[in-house]
Amino acid sequence: MASHDGIERVFRSEYGRCVATLIRLFGDIDLAEEAVQDAFAVALAQWPQTGLPPNPGAWITTTARNRAIDRLRRDASRHQRHVQAQLLLERTAADEPEPEREGEGAVSDDRLRLIFTCCHPALIPNPPTDLSGVQSGAEAGWPCGARV
């Protein structure tokens, strides 16, 4: 069992060394500091139950290096997703008709278009033929008079 005093001693002796190692590996001070802090947070969660590892400095350095690599991969993946989203947005914008070319009854607001789509008669199962909207909603089990 590792006490908080033991973990504090490891922090005081290994923090600077681990940060310096990660700065050498990745060249980013912020990334190195955050990764080492994450590694110590993991150590605070695990070491009280499992005890100190044989070489705590190496454990912290390895965990911090893995956290830094995970963050770099996540950032690269995020950038790639943003590029793909921008391409999709540009492609979608190019496919939409321009507002001045739309017809008289065209709907330009996407939210309003979605409401019309959701209220389309083809989407209502077993549509009633002779009931009012309130009666048909009540029979369908929808709350009547409630705000949507």
Cα(35)–Cα(28) distance, integer angstroms: 11
What's the half-sphere exposure (Cβ side, CA atoms, 13 Å) at 86?
6
Of 5, 2, 40, which Cα lies nearest the Cα of 19? 40
State the first-to-last Cα distance of the chain, in angstroms, to the nearest integer: 56
All domains of the chain, ordered by start, with CATH? 4-94 (1.10.1740)
pLDDT at position 119 is 77
Q: Are 27 and 21 in contact (CB under 8 A)?
A: no
- Name the token pair of 25: 């590996």
Task: For residue range 71-128, list pLDDT tens digits in order.
Answer: 999 988 888 888 888 888 877 766 665 555 455 566 667 777 777 777 777 666 665 5
- pTM equals 0.56
